[in-house]
Structure 1
């Protein structure tokens, strides 16, 4: 599997320009805010979402100034949601580094998230990118609804496959779908093509989240059971399948473990063993590959070239990654 740096080679120059502009888009006259945004930029992730914006634009007509603003808008709003999520989840780490709320406390973290959100909105409004703003704003709305839907269902341990897919479609897939739609819209694509790219991104987003959920049923670097979702009482596809394919007694036992013993490593290990023994992981992988293949089918209808290869490689990266 290719690395992210190898995948982005065809658009490396555009990514370099984007990174400079993204840093500039965060700039503030408040020294504290500048220190925090500098910390954020220095610890940025793989920036998969801007890559989807650029490759989608490239395959739909070409990268232009609007594409750069669309990528910055997506990344600003995505970063804002991550900062807010860490506050909501009381999480003190992000990608192996201290989170903003861990270093500067919750109040400042919330304000920083609000600042990033406002910068993204102003970037679009000031340049008249209203179609891009509408696409991304819809995604942020769906992300909030998905998070609240999950919280509501988690309290009752009432999640079947249909609800699970609705949650991840809103929480995760909506933003990747918006990235692909933004890229297409920025390149001047027609409505049908924008919708095709949105659908492609949604399928990849669903596959991405299923893959992410599968990691929870493994072990960390020193062999301890992960079970991060279990600790938060999140019921994901591997567990949903296993609970649906066992007897009533076993189902009650495992639900009791998730509800009442989700912070005990030995009990978490029991849940993970149960999922592995009942085919939950295998089923999740089958479903992940189904959505991946549907995304590939959409790509086959698009023009061949570097952009299509880039999107194909991004799809492979998101569904074959090890963490």
Structure 2
């Protein structure tokens, strides 16, 4: 079977369609400017992988409920808020190929829009007494912030070890996918151990997802983010960390110096990319990614076989075989 979003979504197609309508309602505002921006954001939503993780995990754990819909909306509201704020922090004019909110409406409005989205998520939970879901998602947002700050702190010295790298991506990327799966399980009133299994499954998928993203930086896919963008931004990714750890002192200092001082020079960036490839960094990162996928699937197979579980398995494969 071809790994396409449409095929993966098949068991939850009706729920995803209903979710689209409900999510638009959750985003509504009586302030015309705010409503205009909300419509702009909704029309430019991506593949909706996170709501898919919520609904498919709920399906695996017992069945999709109204609580599942609210949990998926809560994830999207708080995640979208962090993205809007991220674009302000990064001074980014584009998001998924479209103008960012701050590019069209300036930073002040973008920050307020992010605050509005956060408040909508909080109220959606509180008004429906979904305090467990709110705790799961709020913890993820806290960890995303901590992960970003830890990465910024370490980027100044470029001294990230593998252990620190895993902690950063666990917080920055994996925490949200693990929250999706925990929210999906919790929305079905599953037992604590089942919710924890779902959370761990999501965390391992999220780590594999981020390593795949790292590999795009070295041209390991035909399509993806621009080549060398992580190096230009002085982000320490797994292939680079491995390569540096395999090097002698002199070579390690030379490469770090290139990243620190010449990352705006395309020739120097290409030199770093070539160095990482020659050092076996790509192969190593690919092997680590495969290990996390295997661990995620082992956890997934503890759930009863169903069309939801089949789709989750395909979704895991999709996240590591995607081309962007």
Q: Using structure 1 for the length normalisation, give the TM-score.
A: 0.97
CA shift, 1:124, in A, is 0.6
Query: Conserved in 2, the CA contact under 8 Å of 1:216 and 1:229?
Result: yes
CA change 1:31–1:282 in 2 (3 A) is same
For the aligned residues, what is the CA RMSD? 1.5
Report the alpha carbon displacement of residue 226 of structure 1 after superposing the two structures with TM: 1.3
Distance 1:277 1:218 in 2: 14
What SS does structure 2 have at the residue aligned with 1:8? Answer: helix
Alignment-derived partner of residue 295 in structure 2: 294
Q: Aligned with 2:14: secondary structure? A: helix
Provide the residue aligned with 1:60 in structure 2: 61
Sort the Cα spacing of 1:288 and 1:219 in 2 relative to 1 into closer, same or farther, 3 A.
Answer: closer
Other-structure match for 1:86: 87
**Is 1:121 aligned with 2:122?**
yes
In structure 1, the gaps of 5 or more residues are: none
Give the match for residue 272 of structure 2.
271
Who is 2:208 aligned against? Answer: 207
Q: Does 2:18 match 1:14? A: no
State the 1:242 CA deviation. 0.4
Deviation at 1:224, TM superposition (A): 11
Deviations 1:194-228 (A, max 9, x none): 00100000000000001011101118979996111
Question: Are the equivalent residues in 2 in contact too, given 1:54–1:71 (CA < 8 A)?
Answer: yes
Closer, same or farther in 2 for the Cα pair 1:219/1:92, shift >3 Å? farther
Contact 1:177 1:201 in 2 (8 A): yes
- The residue number in structure 2 matching 1:50 is 51
Q: What per-residue deviation string (whole Å, max 9, x for no partner) do you get for residues 261-320 of structure 1?
A: 111111111111111111111110100010000000011111001110011011000011
CA drift of 1:247 comes to 1.8
**Residues 223, 309 of structure 1: alpha-carbon distance in 2 compared, 3 angstrom cutoff:** closer
Say if 1:230 and 1:236 are closer, same or farther in 2 by CA, change over 3 A. same
Alignment of 1:120-199 (within 5 A): 120-199=121-200
Change in CA separation of 1:55 and 1:219 when aligned onto 2, cut-off 3 Å: closer
C-alpha separation in 1, matches of 2:35 and 2:300: 40
Q: Structure 2 length as normaliser, TM-score?
A: 0.97
SS in 1 for 2:181: helix
Equivalent positions of 1:240-279 (< 5 A) are 240-279=241-280
Over 3 Å off, 4+ runs: 219-225
* 1:30 corresponds to: 31
> Quick one: distance in 2 between partners of 1:5 and 1:40?
22
Query: What is the distance in 1 between the residues matched to 2:140 and 2:131?
Result: 14
1:2 — aligned with what?
A: 3
1:225-279 CA distances to partner (integer Å, 9 max, x unpaired)? Answer: 6111111111110100000111222111110110001111111111111111111
1:114 CA drift (Å): 0.7
Aligned residues of 1:225 and 1:268 also touching (Cα < 8 A)? no
SS in 2 for 1:156: coil
Number of residue pairs the alignment of both structures matches: 323
Q: Which runs of 5+ in 2 are unaligned?
A: none
Higher mean alpha-carbon deviation, 89-98 vs 219-228, is at 219-228
* Partner Cα separation in structure 2 for residue 70 and residue 105 of structure 1: 30
Q: State whether residues 219 and 226 of structure 1, in contact with CA within 8 Å, keep that contact through their aligned partners in structure 2.
A: no
Q: Is the 8 A contact 1:219 1:225 kept in 2?
A: no
Q: 1:94 to 1:279 in 2, by over 3 A?
A: same
- Bigger mean CA deviation after superposition, 245-254 or 61-70: 245-254
